[in-house]
Structure 1
Amino acid sequence: MDVVRKKSPRAPSIALDEALNRALLAYDKDRTHAAPAEVVAQNLGYKSANNGSALAAMASLRYYGLLERPREGMLAVAKAVEQYKFAPDESQRKALLRKFLLAPNVFAELLELYRDGLPSDATIRYELINRGFLPAPAETCAAVFRKSVDFVDYFGQPGALEPTDADDEGANIEDGPRSRASNLDESDEAVQQPTVASFRSATPRQSASPLPPLGGEDVDSIPVRLTGGRRAWLVVPHRLYDADKVRLKAQIDLLLTVEEEHGNS
Protein backbone atom coordinates (compact mmCIF):
# COMPACT_ATOMS: atom_id res chain seq x y z
CA MET A 1 0.00 0.00 0.00
CA ASP A 2 1.35 3.38 -0.97
CA VAL A 3 2.17 5.74 1.89
CA VAL A 4 1.04 9.32 1.41
CA ARG A 5 3.72 11.69 2.64
CA LYS A 6 2.66 14.90 4.30
CA LYS A 7 3.98 18.02 2.62
CA SER A 8 5.05 21.27 4.23
CA PRO A 9 3.83 24.57 2.75
CA ARG A 10 6.12 26.37 0.36
CA ALA A 11 8.63 28.77 1.89
CA PRO A 12 12.13 30.05 1.08
CA SER A 13 14.90 27.73 2.19
CA ILE A 14 17.61 30.41 2.16
CA ALA A 15 17.57 33.82 3.83
CA LEU A 16 16.98 36.99 1.84
CA ASP A 17 20.56 38.26 2.14
CA GLU A 18 21.98 35.12 0.48
CA ALA A 19 19.19 35.06 -2.09
CA LEU A 20 19.82 38.69 -3.04
CA ASN A 21 23.57 38.17 -3.30
CA ARG A 22 23.02 35.26 -5.68
CA ALA A 23 20.52 37.27 -7.70
CA LEU A 24 23.08 40.06 -8.08
CA LEU A 25 25.65 37.51 -9.26
CA ALA A 26 23.22 36.27 -11.87
CA TYR A 27 22.40 39.83 -12.90
CA ASP A 28 26.08 40.54 -13.56
CA LYS A 29 26.12 37.57 -15.96
CA ASP A 30 22.95 37.98 -18.00
CA ARG A 31 21.29 41.15 -16.70
CA THR A 32 17.50 40.61 -16.92
CA HIS A 33 17.63 38.49 -20.08
CA ALA A 34 15.78 35.17 -20.01
CA ALA A 35 17.98 32.09 -19.91
CA PRO A 36 17.49 28.32 -19.45
CA ALA A 37 17.34 27.08 -15.86
CA GLU A 38 20.70 25.35 -16.30
CA VAL A 39 22.39 28.64 -17.24
CA VAL A 40 20.67 30.53 -14.45
CA ALA A 41 21.78 27.94 -11.90
CA GLN A 42 25.39 28.41 -13.03
CA ASN A 43 24.97 32.18 -12.90
CA LEU A 44 23.79 31.79 -9.31
CA GLY A 45 27.02 29.97 -8.45
CA TYR A 46 25.96 26.33 -8.79
CA LYS A 47 27.53 23.74 -11.07
CA SER A 48 24.22 22.48 -12.39
CA ALA A 49 20.47 22.93 -12.07
CA ASN A 50 20.03 19.20 -11.52
CA ASN A 51 20.72 19.12 -7.79
CA GLY A 52 18.62 19.87 -4.75
CA SER A 53 20.57 22.91 -3.58
CA ALA A 54 20.34 24.70 -6.92
CA LEU A 55 16.64 23.94 -7.34
CA ALA A 56 15.87 25.05 -3.79
CA ALA A 57 17.82 28.28 -4.32
CA MET A 58 16.07 29.08 -7.59
CA ALA A 59 12.69 28.42 -6.01
CA SER A 60 13.61 30.61 -3.04
CA LEU A 61 14.62 33.46 -5.33
CA ARG A 62 11.26 33.18 -7.06
CA TYR A 63 9.42 33.33 -3.75
CA TYR A 64 11.24 36.58 -2.94
CA GLY A 65 10.44 37.97 -6.39
CA LEU A 66 14.12 38.01 -7.38
CA LEU A 67 13.68 35.59 -10.27
CA GLU A 68 10.89 35.52 -12.83
CA ARG A 69 9.68 32.97 -15.34
CA PRO A 70 9.03 34.95 -18.53
CA ARG A 71 8.16 31.81 -20.50
CA GLU A 72 8.19 28.07 -20.17
CA GLY A 73 11.62 26.62 -19.42
CA MET A 74 13.23 30.02 -19.00
CA LEU A 75 14.12 32.16 -15.98
CA ALA A 76 15.29 35.75 -15.67
CA VAL A 77 16.52 38.04 -12.93
CA ALA A 78 13.66 40.34 -11.95
CA LYS A 79 13.74 44.01 -12.88
CA ALA A 80 13.49 44.82 -9.17
CA VAL A 81 17.01 43.40 -8.67
CA GLU A 82 18.34 45.88 -11.23
CA GLN A 83 16.43 48.65 -9.46
CA TYR A 84 18.01 47.62 -6.17
CA LYS A 85 21.52 47.47 -7.63
CA PHE A 86 21.30 50.97 -9.12
CA ALA A 87 19.02 52.63 -6.56
CA PRO A 88 20.21 56.24 -6.10
CA ASP A 89 19.63 56.32 -2.35
CA GLU A 90 19.34 54.04 0.66
CA SER A 91 15.63 54.68 1.19
CA GLN A 92 14.79 53.14 -2.17
CA ARG A 93 16.93 50.10 -1.41
CA LYS A 94 15.19 49.65 1.93
CA ALA A 95 11.80 49.85 0.24
CA LEU A 96 12.80 47.15 -2.23
CA LEU A 97 14.20 44.96 0.55
CA ARG A 98 10.91 45.24 2.38
CA LYS A 99 9.08 44.27 -0.80
CA PHE A 100 11.30 41.21 -1.23
CA LEU A 101 10.78 40.19 2.40
CA LEU A 102 7.00 40.38 2.13
CA ALA A 103 6.80 38.53 -1.19
CA PRO A 104 6.61 35.01 0.33
CA ASN A 105 3.06 34.63 1.67
CA VAL A 106 4.14 32.88 4.84
CA PHE A 107 6.53 35.73 5.71
CA ALA A 108 3.89 38.38 5.06
CA GLU A 109 1.39 36.52 7.23
CA LEU A 110 3.88 36.09 10.08
CA LEU A 111 4.79 39.77 10.00
CA GLU A 112 1.13 40.69 10.07
CA LEU A 113 0.67 38.38 13.06
CA TYR A 114 3.74 39.69 14.91
CA ARG A 115 3.22 43.39 14.32
CA ASP A 116 5.02 44.48 17.49
CA GLY A 117 8.17 42.40 16.97
CA LEU A 118 9.18 38.78 16.61
CA PRO A 119 8.65 36.32 19.46
CA SER A 120 11.01 33.45 20.27
CA ASP A 121 12.04 30.91 17.65
CA ALA A 122 10.04 28.30 19.55
CA THR A 123 6.87 30.38 19.22
CA ILE A 124 7.43 30.97 15.50
CA ARG A 125 8.11 27.27 15.00
CA TYR A 126 4.90 26.39 16.84
CA GLU A 127 2.93 28.80 14.67
CA LEU A 128 4.40 27.29 11.50
CA ILE A 129 3.54 23.77 12.64
CA ASN A 130 -0.02 24.94 13.23
CA ARG A 131 0.02 26.19 9.64
CA GLY A 132 0.89 22.74 8.32
CA PHE A 133 4.70 22.63 8.45
CA LEU A 134 6.48 19.49 9.54
CA PRO A 135 8.74 20.05 12.58
CA ALA A 136 12.08 20.10 10.74
CA PRO A 137 10.94 22.39 7.88
CA ALA A 138 9.25 24.61 10.48
CA GLU A 139 12.56 25.03 12.30
CA THR A 140 14.35 25.83 9.04
CA CYS A 141 11.68 28.29 7.97
CA ALA A 142 11.72 30.03 11.37
CA ALA A 143 15.50 30.50 11.16
CA VAL A 144 15.37 31.75 7.54
CA PHE A 145 12.50 34.09 8.42
CA ARG A 146 14.26 35.63 11.43
CA LYS A 147 17.53 36.08 9.56
CA SER A 148 15.71 37.76 6.66
CA VAL A 149 13.78 40.08 8.98
CA ASP A 150 17.02 41.07 10.73
CA PHE A 151 18.76 41.65 7.40
CA VAL A 152 16.04 44.03 6.25
CA ASP A 153 15.82 45.66 9.71
CA TYR A 154 12.09 45.41 9.19
CA PHE A 155 11.00 46.65 12.60
CA GLY A 156 13.41 49.57 12.41
CA GLN A 157 11.82 50.94 9.24
CA PRO A 158 9.01 53.50 9.13
CA GLY A 159 5.70 51.87 8.32
CA ALA A 160 6.93 48.41 9.25
CA LEU A 161 3.79 47.73 11.27
CA GLU A 162 1.51 48.45 8.33
CA PRO A 163 2.15 45.99 5.46
CA THR A 164 0.54 47.28 2.28
CA ASP A 165 -1.37 45.37 -0.37
CA ALA A 166 1.46 46.03 -2.82
CA ASP A 167 3.86 44.25 -0.48
CA ASP A 168 1.66 41.14 -0.59
CA GLU A 169 1.80 40.89 -4.37
CA GLY A 170 4.36 38.97 -6.35
CA ALA A 171 5.77 35.49 -6.52
CA ASN A 172 5.19 34.12 -3.31
CA ILE A 173 5.68 30.67 -2.44
CA GLU A 174 8.16 28.00 -3.22
CA ASP A 175 8.66 24.33 -3.98
CA GLY A 176 10.97 22.20 -1.99
CA PRO A 177 14.02 20.72 -3.74
CA ARG A 178 13.21 18.64 -6.80
CA SER A 179 15.31 16.16 -8.70
CA ARG A 180 14.86 17.67 -12.15
CA ALA A 181 14.86 21.24 -13.49
CA SER A 182 11.69 20.47 -15.46
CA ASN A 183 9.85 19.98 -12.19
CA LEU A 184 10.84 23.49 -11.13
CA ASP A 185 9.26 24.80 -14.32
CA GLU A 186 6.04 22.96 -13.53
CA SER A 187 5.76 24.46 -10.05
CA ASP A 188 6.75 27.88 -11.37
CA GLU A 189 3.72 27.87 -13.66
CA ALA A 190 1.41 27.55 -10.70
CA VAL A 191 3.11 30.43 -8.89
CA GLN A 192 3.94 32.84 -11.69
CA GLN A 193 0.98 32.47 -14.05
CA PRO A 194 -2.32 32.65 -12.13
CA THR A 195 -4.30 33.27 -15.34
CA VAL A 196 -7.48 31.73 -13.95
CA ALA A 197 -7.32 32.42 -10.24
CA SER A 198 -5.50 34.50 -7.64
CA PHE A 199 -5.42 33.97 -3.88
CA ARG A 200 -5.00 36.29 -0.91
CA SER A 201 -5.27 35.23 2.69
CA ALA A 202 -5.87 37.03 5.96
CA THR A 203 -4.68 36.02 9.41
CA PRO A 204 -7.09 35.96 12.36
CA ARG A 205 -5.89 39.46 13.22
CA GLN A 206 -7.09 40.67 9.84
CA SER A 207 -10.51 39.05 9.98
CA ALA A 208 -12.08 42.11 11.64
CA SER A 209 -11.16 44.19 8.58
CA PRO A 210 -10.62 41.72 5.72
CA LEU A 211 -8.41 42.45 2.75
CA PRO A 212 -10.32 43.83 -0.26
CA PRO A 213 -10.82 41.22 -3.00
CA LEU A 214 -8.57 41.31 -6.01
CA GLY A 215 -9.94 41.85 -9.47
CA GLY A 216 -12.16 44.21 -11.41
CA GLU A 217 -15.48 44.36 -13.19
CA ASP A 218 -14.82 41.25 -15.31
CA VAL A 219 -14.13 38.87 -12.42
CA ASP A 220 -15.89 37.37 -9.42
CA SER A 221 -14.17 37.39 -6.00
CA ILE A 222 -15.26 34.39 -3.94
CA PRO A 223 -14.38 34.34 -0.20
CA VAL A 224 -13.09 31.05 1.21
CA ARG A 225 -12.88 30.40 4.94
CA LEU A 226 -9.61 28.82 6.11
CA THR A 227 -8.52 27.24 9.38
CA GLY A 228 -7.65 29.41 12.35
CA GLY A 229 -10.14 32.13 11.43
CA ARG A 230 -8.25 33.08 8.27
CA ARG A 231 -9.82 33.64 4.88
CA ALA A 232 -8.77 33.71 1.23
CA TRP A 233 -10.30 35.04 -1.97
CA LEU A 234 -10.68 32.99 -5.11
CA VAL A 235 -10.77 35.35 -8.10
CA VAL A 236 -12.13 33.95 -11.37
CA PRO A 237 -13.35 35.55 -14.60
CA HIS A 238 -17.09 35.72 -15.27
CA ARG A 239 -16.68 33.43 -18.26
CA LEU A 240 -15.03 30.23 -17.06
CA TYR A 241 -14.51 27.64 -19.81
CA ASP A 242 -13.97 23.91 -19.35
CA ALA A 243 -10.27 24.31 -20.18
CA ASP A 244 -10.05 27.05 -17.54
CA LYS A 245 -11.56 24.72 -14.94
CA VAL A 246 -8.99 22.03 -15.73
CA ARG A 247 -6.14 24.54 -15.46
CA LEU A 248 -7.55 26.01 -12.24
CA LYS A 249 -7.85 22.59 -10.61
CA ALA A 250 -4.32 21.67 -11.70
CA GLN A 251 -2.90 24.87 -10.20
CA ILE A 252 -4.71 24.33 -6.90
CA ASP A 253 -3.50 20.72 -6.81
CA LEU A 254 0.07 21.95 -7.29
CA LEU A 255 -0.31 24.41 -4.43
CA LEU A 256 -1.49 21.60 -2.17
CA THR A 257 1.21 19.08 -3.08
CA VAL A 258 4.47 20.66 -1.98
CA GLU A 259 7.66 18.67 -1.84
CA GLU A 260 9.21 18.23 1.60
CA GLU A 261 12.43 19.93 2.57
CA HIS A 262 15.68 17.95 2.64
CA GLY A 263 15.74 15.45 5.47
CA ASN A 264 11.97 14.91 5.48
CA SER A 265 11.61 12.52 2.62
Structure 2
Amino acid sequence: MRRKSPRAPSIPLDDAIERAQKLYEKEKRHPAPVDAIAQHLGYKNATNGAAASVIATLKYYGLIQRDSEKMISVSNDLELYMFSPTEEMKRDYLVKWLKTPPVFSDLLEQYQDHLPSDGTLRFNLIKRGFFQEAADACIAVFRRSVDYARYYEHTQQDEVVGEESINQEVDETPPSEKSDITAEPQTLSQARPVTPIATSAETYAVHDIDRIPVRLTRGRKAWIEIPTPFFAADKERLKAQIDLLLSDDEDDFLE
Protein backbone atom coordinates (compact mmCIF):
# COMPACT_ATOMS: atom_id res chain seq x y z
CA MET A 1 0.00 0.00 0.00
CA ARG A 2 1.32 3.43 -0.95
CA ARG A 3 2.26 5.49 2.08
CA LYS A 4 0.43 8.78 2.53
CA SER A 5 1.31 11.93 4.42
CA PRO A 6 -0.47 12.44 7.76
CA ARG A 7 -3.89 14.05 7.68
CA ALA A 8 -3.93 17.84 7.61
CA PRO A 9 -6.29 20.59 6.38
CA SER A 10 -6.03 21.25 2.66
CA ILE A 11 -7.50 24.78 2.80
CA PRO A 12 -6.91 27.66 5.27
CA LEU A 13 -9.26 28.33 8.16
CA ASP A 14 -10.84 31.44 6.62
CA ASP A 15 -11.69 29.57 3.42
CA ALA A 16 -13.06 26.64 5.43
CA ILE A 17 -15.32 28.90 7.49
CA GLU A 18 -16.67 30.55 4.34
CA ARG A 19 -17.55 27.16 2.86
CA ALA A 20 -19.13 25.95 6.11
CA GLN A 21 -21.28 29.09 6.14
CA LYS A 22 -22.52 28.16 2.66
CA LEU A 23 -23.65 24.83 4.07
CA TYR A 24 -25.41 26.65 6.89
CA GLU A 25 -27.24 28.88 4.41
CA LYS A 26 -28.52 25.78 2.62
CA GLU A 27 -29.26 23.39 5.47
CA LYS A 28 -28.98 25.38 8.73
CA ARG A 29 -28.17 22.72 11.38
CA HIS A 30 -30.08 19.91 9.66
CA PRO A 31 -28.10 16.77 8.70
CA ALA A 32 -27.78 16.21 4.95
CA PRO A 33 -26.41 13.41 2.72
CA VAL A 34 -22.75 13.75 1.81
CA ASP A 35 -23.55 14.16 -1.90
CA ALA A 36 -25.85 17.08 -1.08
CA ILE A 37 -23.05 18.61 1.00
CA ALA A 38 -20.65 18.27 -1.93
CA GLN A 39 -23.17 19.92 -4.26
CA HIS A 40 -23.65 22.84 -1.86
CA LEU A 41 -19.88 23.30 -2.02
CA GLY A 42 -19.95 23.45 -5.82
CA TYR A 43 -19.07 19.87 -6.73
CA LYS A 44 -21.08 17.27 -8.65
CA ASN A 45 -20.91 14.68 -5.87
CA ALA A 46 -18.76 13.51 -2.98
CA THR A 47 -16.74 11.07 -5.13
CA ASN A 48 -14.90 14.05 -6.58
CA GLY A 49 -11.41 14.09 -5.08
CA ALA A 50 -11.44 17.83 -4.41
CA ALA A 51 -14.86 17.59 -2.76
CA ALA A 52 -13.71 14.78 -0.48
CA SER A 53 -10.63 16.78 0.51
CA VAL A 54 -12.64 19.90 1.38
CA ILE A 55 -15.25 17.96 3.35
CA ALA A 56 -12.50 16.19 5.27
CA THR A 57 -10.86 19.55 6.03
CA LEU A 58 -14.08 21.02 7.39
CA LYS A 59 -14.25 18.02 9.69
CA TYR A 60 -10.60 18.43 10.77
CA TYR A 61 -11.35 21.98 11.91
CA GLY A 62 -14.52 20.90 13.70
CA LEU A 63 -16.79 22.98 11.44
CA ILE A 64 -18.96 20.02 10.47
CA GLN A 65 -19.86 16.72 12.09
CA ARG A 66 -21.10 13.34 10.89
CA ASP A 67 -23.72 11.27 12.68
CA SER A 68 -24.12 7.50 12.94
CA GLU A 69 -26.07 7.44 9.65
CA LYS A 70 -23.19 9.24 7.87
CA MET A 71 -25.28 12.38 7.49
CA ILE A 72 -23.36 15.65 7.76
CA SER A 73 -24.36 18.86 9.54
CA VAL A 74 -22.55 22.05 10.49
CA SER A 75 -21.35 22.24 14.08
CA ASN A 76 -23.11 24.17 16.80
CA ASP A 77 -19.92 26.23 17.22
CA LEU A 78 -20.25 27.58 13.70
CA GLU A 79 -23.75 28.86 14.42
CA LEU A 80 -22.57 30.44 17.67
CA TYR A 81 -19.64 32.02 15.85
CA MET A 82 -21.89 33.54 13.20
CA PHE A 83 -24.11 35.16 15.81
CA SER A 84 -21.45 36.11 18.35
CA PRO A 85 -22.04 39.75 19.43
CA THR A 86 -18.35 40.66 19.83
CA GLU A 87 -15.16 40.23 17.83
CA GLU A 88 -13.44 38.83 20.92
CA MET A 89 -15.96 35.98 21.14
CA LYS A 90 -15.51 35.25 17.44
CA ARG A 91 -11.75 35.17 17.82
CA ASP A 92 -12.08 32.61 20.62
CA TYR A 93 -13.83 30.29 18.19
CA LEU A 94 -11.14 30.93 15.55
CA VAL A 95 -8.42 29.92 18.00
CA LYS A 96 -10.40 26.83 19.00
CA TRP A 97 -10.79 25.71 15.38
CA LEU A 98 -7.14 26.48 14.64
CA LYS A 99 -6.09 24.12 17.41
CA THR A 100 -8.49 21.31 16.45
CA PRO A 101 -6.39 19.62 13.72
CA PRO A 102 -3.80 17.57 15.64
CA VAL A 103 -0.88 18.64 13.46
CA PHE A 104 -1.73 22.34 13.97
CA SER A 105 -2.21 21.84 17.69
CA ASP A 106 1.18 20.14 18.01
CA LEU A 107 2.96 22.90 16.08
CA LEU A 108 1.35 25.65 18.17
CA GLU A 109 2.30 23.80 21.34
CA GLN A 110 5.89 23.50 20.16
CA TYR A 111 6.18 27.12 18.95
CA GLN A 112 4.39 29.07 21.64
CA ASP A 113 5.88 32.53 21.05
CA HIS A 114 6.11 32.76 17.26
CA LEU A 115 6.51 30.51 14.22
CA PRO A 116 9.99 29.60 12.95
CA SER A 117 11.15 29.69 9.34
CA ASP A 118 9.55 27.59 6.63
CA GLY A 119 12.68 25.44 6.58
CA THR A 120 12.31 24.58 10.25
CA LEU A 121 8.60 23.85 9.86
CA ARG A 122 9.32 21.69 6.80
CA PHE A 123 11.93 19.68 8.70
CA ASN A 124 9.48 19.24 11.59
CA LEU A 125 6.69 18.00 9.31
CA ILE A 126 8.94 15.64 7.36
CA LYS A 127 9.99 14.08 10.67
CA ARG A 128 6.27 13.53 11.31
CA GLY A 129 5.93 11.58 8.07
CA PHE A 130 4.99 14.26 5.52
CA PHE A 131 6.34 14.18 2.00
CA GLN A 132 8.09 17.41 1.03
CA GLU A 133 5.29 18.60 -1.27
CA ALA A 134 2.64 17.84 1.35
CA ALA A 135 4.75 19.56 4.01
CA ASP A 136 5.04 22.73 1.90
CA ALA A 137 1.28 22.75 1.26
CA CYS A 138 0.59 22.24 4.97
CA ILE A 139 2.93 25.11 5.91
CA ALA A 140 1.12 27.52 3.57
CA VAL A 141 -2.30 26.52 4.94
CA PHE A 142 -1.04 26.64 8.54
CA ARG A 143 0.57 30.10 8.26
CA ARG A 144 -2.49 31.65 6.66
CA SER A 145 -4.76 30.08 9.27
CA VAL A 146 -2.57 31.35 12.13
CA ASP A 147 -2.60 34.86 10.66
CA TYR A 148 -6.37 34.78 10.16
CA ALA A 149 -6.99 33.74 13.76
CA ARG A 150 -4.46 36.37 14.93
CA TYR A 151 -3.20 33.63 17.19
CA TYR A 152 0.10 35.11 18.34
CA GLU A 153 -1.42 38.56 18.64
CA HIS A 154 -4.00 37.00 20.95
CA THR A 155 -1.48 35.14 23.13
CA GLN A 156 0.85 38.14 23.36
CA GLN A 157 -2.00 40.37 24.50
CA ASP A 158 -2.85 37.82 27.21
CA GLU A 159 0.73 37.92 28.45
CA VAL A 160 0.81 41.73 28.51
CA VAL A 161 -2.48 41.89 30.40
CA GLY A 162 -1.23 39.30 32.87
CA GLU A 163 1.99 41.21 33.49
CA GLU A 164 0.14 44.51 33.88
CA SER A 165 -2.26 42.99 36.37
CA ILE A 166 0.71 41.92 38.48
CA ASN A 167 2.48 45.28 38.24
CA GLN A 168 -0.65 47.23 39.04
CA GLU A 169 -1.52 45.39 42.23
CA VAL A 170 -1.76 47.96 45.02
CA ASP A 171 -1.59 47.50 48.76
CA GLU A 172 -5.02 48.71 49.84
CA THR A 173 -4.45 48.20 53.57
CA PRO A 174 -5.48 51.41 55.42
CA PRO A 175 -2.52 53.29 56.98
CA SER A 176 -4.07 52.89 60.43
CA GLU A 177 -3.92 49.13 60.08
CA LYS A 178 -0.44 49.06 58.55
CA SER A 179 1.07 50.50 61.71
CA ASP A 180 -0.24 47.53 63.70
CA ILE A 181 1.15 44.88 61.36
CA THR A 182 4.33 43.23 62.53
CA ALA A 183 6.34 40.66 60.66
CA GLU A 184 5.85 37.14 61.91
CA PRO A 185 9.00 35.29 62.98
CA GLN A 186 10.01 32.97 60.14
CA THR A 187 9.87 29.75 62.12
CA LEU A 188 8.09 26.52 61.23
CA SER A 189 6.23 26.49 64.54
CA GLN A 190 4.48 29.73 63.65
CA ALA A 191 3.78 28.93 59.99
CA ARG A 192 0.19 29.36 58.92
CA PRO A 193 -1.41 26.89 56.49
CA VAL A 194 -1.99 28.18 52.98
CA THR A 195 -5.73 28.60 52.42
CA PRO A 196 -7.28 29.42 49.01
CA ILE A 197 -8.09 33.13 49.03
CA ALA A 198 -11.51 32.71 47.41
CA THR A 199 -12.74 30.34 50.12
CA SER A 200 -11.39 31.90 53.28
CA ALA A 201 -12.55 34.95 55.17
CA GLU A 202 -9.46 34.98 57.41
CA THR A 203 -7.04 37.85 56.88
CA TYR A 204 -3.35 37.04 57.06
CA ALA A 205 -0.61 39.49 57.98
CA VAL A 206 1.49 39.14 54.87
CA HIS A 207 3.92 41.59 53.37
CA ASP A 208 3.08 40.87 49.75
CA ILE A 209 1.61 38.32 47.36
CA ASP A 210 3.45 37.20 44.23
CA ARG A 211 1.32 35.87 41.36
CA ILE A 212 3.45 33.41 39.40
CA PRO A 213 2.27 32.51 35.88
CA VAL A 214 2.55 28.84 34.86
CA ARG A 215 2.27 28.02 31.15
CA LEU A 216 0.12 24.93 30.51
CA THR A 217 -0.50 22.93 27.36
CA ARG A 218 -2.59 24.20 24.43
CA GLY A 219 -2.03 27.85 25.21
CA ARG A 220 -3.60 27.81 28.68
CA LYS A 221 -2.20 29.41 31.82
CA ALA A 222 -2.50 28.97 35.56
CA TRP A 223 -1.55 31.40 38.31
CA ILE A 224 -0.04 30.50 41.67
CA GLU A 225 -0.34 33.08 44.46
CA ILE A 226 2.52 32.91 46.96
CA PRO A 227 2.34 35.01 50.14
CA THR A 228 5.36 36.61 51.82
CA PRO A 229 6.59 35.25 54.16
CA PHE A 230 6.28 31.73 52.70
CA PHE A 231 7.35 28.97 55.10
CA ALA A 232 8.65 25.45 54.50
CA ALA A 233 5.44 24.04 56.00
CA ASP A 234 3.45 26.11 53.48
CA LYS A 235 5.42 24.56 50.65
CA GLU A 236 4.68 21.05 51.85
CA ARG A 237 0.97 21.84 52.18
CA LEU A 238 0.89 23.28 48.67
CA LYS A 239 2.64 20.21 47.25
CA ALA A 240 0.15 17.96 49.06
CA GLN A 241 -2.77 19.87 47.53
CA ILE A 242 -1.31 19.50 44.02
CA ASP A 243 -0.76 15.77 44.58
CA LEU A 244 -4.39 15.48 45.64
CA LEU A 245 -5.56 17.16 42.44
CA LEU A 246 -3.42 14.82 40.36
CA SER A 247 -4.81 11.76 42.13
CA ASP A 248 -8.34 13.01 41.43
CA ASP A 249 -7.48 13.27 37.72
CA GLU A 250 -6.19 9.70 37.67
CA ASP A 251 -9.39 8.48 39.34
CA ASP A 252 -11.41 10.21 36.61
CA PHE A 253 -9.48 8.32 33.92
CA LEU A 254 -9.99 5.02 35.69
CA GLU A 255 -13.77 5.41 36.04
Q: TM-score range by the shorter chain?
A: 0.5 to 0.7
- For 1:55, the equivalent position in structure 2 comes to 52
The 1:28/1:107 distance shift into structure 2, 3 A limit, reads same
Corresponding residue number in structure 2 for 1:193? none
Unaligned runs of 5+ in 2: 160-214, 221-245
CA RMSD of aligned residues (A): 2.6
**Cα distance in 1 between the residues matched to 2:252 and 2:11:** 38
Question: Match of 1:27?
Answer: 24
State the Cα distance separating 1:163 from its structure 2 match: 7.1
Return the TM-score normalized by structure 1. 0.60
State the partner residue of 2:229.
Answer: none
Superposition TM-score, scaled by structure 2 size: 0.62
Letter in 2 for 1:81: L
SS in 2 for 1:76: strand
In the other structure, the counterpart of 1:132 is: 129
Q: Distance in 2 between matches of 1:134 and 1:96?
A: 30
Three-state SS of the structure 1 residue aligned to 2:29 is coil
**Bigger relative contact order, structure 1 or 2 (CA pairs below 8 A, ≥6 apart):** 1
Query: Is residue 2:151 matched to residue 1:154?
Result: yes
Q: Residue 43 of structure 1 corresponds to which residue in structure 2? A: 40
Partner of 1:97: 94
Task: Compute the displacement of 1:166 (Å).
Answer: 9.8
The answer to whether structure 1 residue 7 and structure 2 residue 7 are counterparts is no
2:238 is matched with which residue? none
* Residue in structure 2 matched with residue 143 of structure 1 by the alignment: 140
**Amino acid in structure 2 at the alignment position of 1:86:** F
Question: What per-residue deviation string (whole Å, max 9, x for no partner) do you get for residues 160-204 of structure 1?
Answer: 78676699xxxxxxxxxxxxxxxxxxxxxxxxxxxxxxxxxxxxx
Q: How far, CA to CA, are the matches of 2:216 and 2:9 in structure 1?
A: 19
In the aligned structure 1, how far is the partner of 2:216 from the partner of 2:43? 34
SS in 1 for 2:35: helix
Q: Counterparts of 1:219 and 1:157 in 2: how far apart (Å)?
A: 32
Equivalenced residues, count: 174
| CA contact 2:28–2:74 (8 Å) conserved in 1 | yes
**Which one-letter code corresponds to 2:132 in the other structure?**
P
SS of the residue 2:72 aligns to: strand
